[in-house]
A = this chain, B = another copy of it.
Amino acid sequence: MAEKPLILVTNDDGIHAPGIRALVEVAMKFGDVCVVAPDKPQSGMGHAITINSTLRVEQLHIYSGAENWSCSGTPVDCVKMAINKLLPRKPDLCVSGINHGANHSINIIYSGTMSAAMEGAIEGIPSVGFSLLDYSVEADFSAAKIYAGKVIDWVLKNKLDKGVCLNVNVPRLPMSEIKGIKTCRQSAGTWNEELDERTDPSGRKYYWLTGRFENFEPQSTDTDVWALDNGYVSVVPSQIDLTAHQMIQKLNSING
């Protein structure tokens, strides 16, 4: 009898977030699950790793039927810790999420959820990050769970290219209103930031980083932002080659 797939589950909202519970429940249908997730919220941590301080892990019993570890580090630290220390073998799949909030477009670079999935891909593990476009702690994950199952099933049966992970975003809609999955590319966009200035009780200024997302390509129908705005689950294959290949030739004059 073939061994069951070993599935690593992580996230950036922390091991106690409702979204990771939803993803653990889905993953258990497909294999043996090991949860290694941050011991506290780590949203916006991007691809941060812990090199100037130390890491701790703790075995917990939150999700029965799965191994549970919390880690004091970032989402990427969790993946490194799982693969290099905690798991009995290299996992067959790494899933991250389900994130409370969107990770489309440029958000992939700020997202701890997606950075964990990218780290899995860097380590040669088929990896998927899932996000639901609902920040609420009481978000309804039922449609996201169904689509997570569909994507996990596809990834276990098919192959992802070496170094490629999937960025899956689910619109905040009931299942009946979701039109299906759309494979797409990352939209170009940015955050128009505001730094919300306040004064503490001692009279010193401090700031909250806040802002509004701007899609640079509202007319393009092949992007993740378009897909989500139009009721689709977006799936963007993603990889770590940041080279702007189209500029290499022009730059050659830098020596001249």
Instruction: Give A residues with C-beta under 8 Å from B.
Output: 41, 43-52, 54-57, 73-74, 76-77, 80-81, 83-85, 106, 108-110, 115, 118, 122-123, 150-151, 154, 158, 160-161, 163-164, 166, 180-181, 183-186, 188, 190, 193-195, 197-198, 204-209, 235-248, 250-255
A242→B109 contact, CB < 8 A: yes
Q: Report chain B residues within 8 Å CB of A151.
A: 254
Known A-B contacts A46-B46, A77-B209; the reply to A242 vs B239 at CB < 8 A is yes
Least CB distance, A97 to chain B, in whole angstroms:
17
B238→A242 contact, CB < 8 A: yes
CA distance A103 to B1 in the complex (A): 46
Q: Report chain B residues within 8 Å CB of A186.
A: 241-243
Identical subunits present? 2
Interface CB pairs A-B, < 8 A, 10: A44-B52, A45-B48, A49-B110, A49-B209, A81-B207, A83-B193, A84-B194, A108-B242, A185-B243, A238-B243
